[in-house]
Structure 1
Amino acid sequence: MTGNFFELKNKQALQRGQRVALVATLATLLLALLKASVGWYYRAPVLVADAFHSVADLLAIFASYFGLWLAGKKKSDRFPYGLYKAETLITLMVGGLIVWAGVELLTEGLDKLQGAVDPVHFPLVPLLVSGLSVVLSLGIALKERQVGRAINSPSLLANAGESFLDVATSLVVLAGLLLRFWRLPYVEGAVILLIALLVIKLGGSSCWTAFLLLLDANLDPQLSHALEKQVNAIYGVKGQSEVRIRQAGPFHMVECVIYTRPTLSLYRAHELADKAEQAIAAHCPHIESVFVHVEPLRNELRSAIVPVSEINGMQSCVHGHFGRAPYFMLLRLNEHEAEIEDFYFNEFLGEPKFIGLKVIKAIIAYRIDLLFTSRLGEISFYMLKDNFVDIYAVDENQTVQEVVDRFRSDSLQAIMQPTHSVDHALVEQQTEPS
């Protein structure tokens, strides 16, 4: 998963959000002008007030478009992480505008509770305009929510919530026009107050969320835990990985620290980091970047396998041939203790060849970290290395306790190559499909 792939994918998402915000801006502008003109001509103050409300929405949606446009700018020396947080900053401004619109609507509702209404003619045209406002606001809200969720845009989602409230507000305006015709202003004022309180709550929530994002707060701890679980399941990762997520505009920036054995080569550590990056990218949507840091894990609990000739606890003696040992001891080692977890009988002793390979396939399931042996064939050696197992040379007939003591004193020599080769013809015969 390369940075260029992330950049291309994110650029496409931002362009999609920009298009939706721009179309919504133009539609809201036309709707605000229509409301204001009809409200003024037909002397319908509630429709004029709704036009001012639409102007606030217009500013918020345009601000969202501007934020997405800024976020789509290329990275530079001055802004090496891009301008994605511009979209979050605009979300904060959008929330403030929504709160302001709610306060204005609240003032209007209070006026309606106290004012008297003069008789008017049936407001057919204002009613039609309000009905059109309901339909357009609903269409804008659905599209903003759909694209906002698809690209994880906080400002589009905030605008979608405000547009849904616009639908309710337009319905209130419809009711208000009829109630004004029937000279029942107090019900109209009460409903407007209710809508105003909902608008203020929505704007305040958007402001608070944007404020937390600008402070790099983790707003999705469940996602962090899920990613840690995915990374910890990778074979070769030891201990508990740490995943941190911060959001910049619509995108996630993920930092991950994974732990593995100290003897792992640089090449294998890079391979492990790639696997962690792929696991995160597969389970975390809207990624801008993934940074994986590999740390050696020391003094951890490790599992070890020892081929032994007998079952005699820690006094069991090491067998001279790994594959043909009658038993295998599974140990759990930490800095101060060695605990015998179990003994396993070698069920492959009666087979003519490749016993070591079959034993390796069986013991890998236990996710072992260490192998203590005196001899090891070529196939078994490379298979163990591919599964992140450290191999140490020990003498035949040493006790397991002596092996553990020498390992803790760093006096055991690591086996860096097979102790004996194999017949390649037999290998090819063994690997032929049946």
Structure 2
Amino acid sequence: MAALTQTRGHSGHGHSHGHHHHHDNVYLTSKNKNDAGVRITRIGLASNLGMAIAKGVGGYMFNSKAMVADAFHSVTDLASDILTLATISWSLRPPTDKFPVGFGKIESLGSLGVSGMLLTGGLWMLWGSTLSLYSHFFLDPAAAAELMAHAHSHGHSHGHDHGHGAPSIHAAWLAAGTVAVKEWLYHATMKVARERKSSVLASNAVHHRVDSLTGIVTLAVILGANFVQNAAWLDPVGGLLISLMVIKAGAENTVASVMELADRSIDDEVKGSIGKQVRKALADVPEGHVTQLREVTGIKSGQNYLVDLEISVPNNWTVEHVRDVEDNVRARVGGKVRGVRKVRVRFVPKETKTLPKFDEFIPGDVSAKSSPEPEDEHDHDDGNGHHHKHQ
């Protein structure tokens, strides 16, 4: 789930069908098998595996490009789910000396891998469907057979007229079965989601509905190719449509993963939630001491939010004062905003004017002349802040 734009509640999985780039995966990783949310999520995972295999084999056997495309779609969904399971525990591990901000970017890298696979597979499917359409409309049967045999050097015909023949009607039963299973999963998952008021399960349910819709496209093109005269071209058209959906999802998820790896700021919704909890924590400061939240920034690292806050406090406050406020703010934000793993607070005196944005950022144009290295290797510090030079 990791990063497909498919509204998956994956700590963001976003198959452009509307999504989170990364969701809370508690239902996939929980050991409590009696929990309704865990059960329906695992049933969904198992059904994705079964249907990916069935659609792949059925599409090949029954000569349906649309079904093969849909099978690839299922495989990439499944790969993202498995990747999520593989990376979630790692990405939530505490920081170490070598990895001082934790391991969240491991999930971001995995997300980039899955979305890259999705994009590549979508482009490959698009190429195959385009070749089929070209050969159908612009080449005679012999030339078309030669082109398709060359394109699929393994000879994707086994007696099916190399892309010109209509898909077998038996593929329709398989397509109808996958639609029925996905519709059942949608209703069953949404029922639990409403009971739990779980946005994660709700997004998973919507994902099942999207898969159901792609199954309906597959079913429509198989039936059309079999019952409408001279409509064998409908199957590659269906494959083309599904491949475009996969490409869109892959491109959106690839961009989202790259942005996360490049440390783009957390989104405004999360900033708003953090700001709300910080203000509640500051409201507990004894009366007469005016404190104010000036800025919330931070980055997303996998499922982890690494947050920076700037808070103004009275000029005469001691380190003990600010330490108490910092502890309260950290405890409240960490306990109330899901995903926050690190809170760093910068305190500034409230009587001073607002500091310029990014004032702590040292520009990258410092030259050797303006910042020289020590000239003498015998320079040393006596421990009291005084430098001594041995000539």
User: TM-score scaled to structure 2, two decimals?
Assistant: 0.59
Alpha-carbon displacement from aligned partner over 1:32-53 (angstroms, at most 9, x marks no partner): 2222333444454543443344
Alignment of 1:184-203 (within 5 A): 184-203=231-250
Task: Give yes or no for contact 2:263–2:299 (8 Å, CA) kept in 1.
Answer: yes
Task: Give yes or no for contact 2:111–2:257 (8 Å, CA) kept in 1.
Answer: yes
Q: Select the structure of larger CA radius of gyration.
A: 1
Alpha-carbon displacement from aligned partner over 1:383-431 (angstroms, at most 9, x marks no partner): xxxxxxxxxxxxxxxxxxxxxxxxxxxxxxxxxxxxxxxxxxxxxxxxx
Which residue of structure 1 lines up, in the alignment, with residue 27 of structure 2? 16
Q: Please point out which of 242, 246, 255 is paired with 1:208.
A: 255
Give yes or no for the alignment of 1:294 onto 2:341: no
Provide the secondary structure at the position in 2 that maps to 1:216.
Answer: coil
Q: Please point out which of 110, 114, 117 is paired with 1:97.
A: 117
Q: Which amino acid aligns with 1:101?
A: G
Alignment of 1:226-305 (within 5 A): 227-228=274-275, 231=278, 234=283, 235=285, 236-238=289-291, 240-281=293-334, 284-299=337-352
* Shift in alpha-carbon separation, 1:140–1:218, aligned structure 2, 3 A: farther
Greater share of residues in strand: 1
Measured in 2, the distance between the counterparts of 1:120 and 1:239 equals 67
Measured in 2, the distance between the counterparts of 1:74 and 1:83 equals 8
Q: Which amino acid aligns with 2:117?
A: L
Superposed displacement of residue 150, structure 1? 5.9
Superposed displacement of residue 295, structure 1? 3.3
Which residue of structure 1 lines up, in the alignment, with residue 101 of structure 2? 81
Which residue of structure 1 lines up, in the alignment, with residue 75 of structure 2? 55
Provide the secondary structure at the position in 2 that maps to 1:247.
Answer: strand
Which residue of structure 1 lines up, in the alignment, with residue 222 of structure 2? 177
Identity in percent: 22
Give structure 2 stretches of 5+ with no counterpart: 1-23, 31-37, 137-162, 355-391
* Shift in alpha-carbon separation, 1:162–1:108, aligned structure 2, 3 A: farther
Alignment of 1:69-148 (within 5 A): 69-73=89-93, 75-114=95-134, 115=136, 117-118=164-165, 123=169, 125-137=170-182
Measured in 1, the distance between the counterparts of 2:175 and 2:123 equals 21
Give structure 1 stretches of 5+ with no counterpart: 1-12, 302-434
Task: Give yes or no for contact 1:60–1:93 (8 Å, CA) kept in 2.
Answer: no
Superposed displacement of residue 284, structure 1? 2.9
* Shift in alpha-carbon separation, 1:161–1:195, aligned structure 2, 3 A: farther
Superposed displacement of residue 190, structure 1? 3.5
Measured in 2, the distance between the counterparts of 1:231 and 1:73 equals 25
* Shift in alpha-carbon separation, 1:75–1:255, aligned structure 2, 3 A: same
Superposed displacement of residue 229, structure 1? 6.1
Superposed displacement of residue 56, structure 1? 3.6
* Shift in alpha-carbon separation, 1:135–1:107, aligned structure 2, 3 A: farther
Give yes or no for the alignment of 1:68 onto 2:121: no
* Shift in alpha-carbon separation, 1:141–1:107, aligned structure 2, 3 A: farther
Provide the secondary structure at the position in 2 that maps to 1:185.
Answer: coil
* Shift in alpha-carbon separation, 1:169–1:240, aligned structure 2, 3 A: closer
Task: Give yes or no for contact 1:24–1:61 (8 Å, CA) kept in 2.
Answer: no
Corresponding residue pairs, total: 283
- Tell me the C-alpha RMSD between the 2 structures: 4.0
Superposed displacement of residue 141, structure 1? 7.2
Alignment of 1:303-314 (within 5 A): none
Measured in 2, the distance between the counterparts of 1:89 and 1:187 equals 38
* Shift in alpha-carbon separation, 1:161–1:89, aligned structure 2, 3 A: farther
Measured in 2, the distance between the counterparts of 1:35 and 1:252 equals 38
Provide the secondary structure at the position in 2 that maps to 1:246.
Answer: strand
Task: Give yes or no for contact 1:113–1:186 (8 Å, CA) kept in 2.
Answer: yes
Q: Which amino acid aligns with 1:31?
A: M
Task: Give yes or no for contact 2:294–2:310 (8 Å, CA) kept in 1.
Answer: yes
Alpha-carbon displacement from aligned partner over 1:178-199 (angstroms, at most 9, x marks no partner): 1121241334444433332222
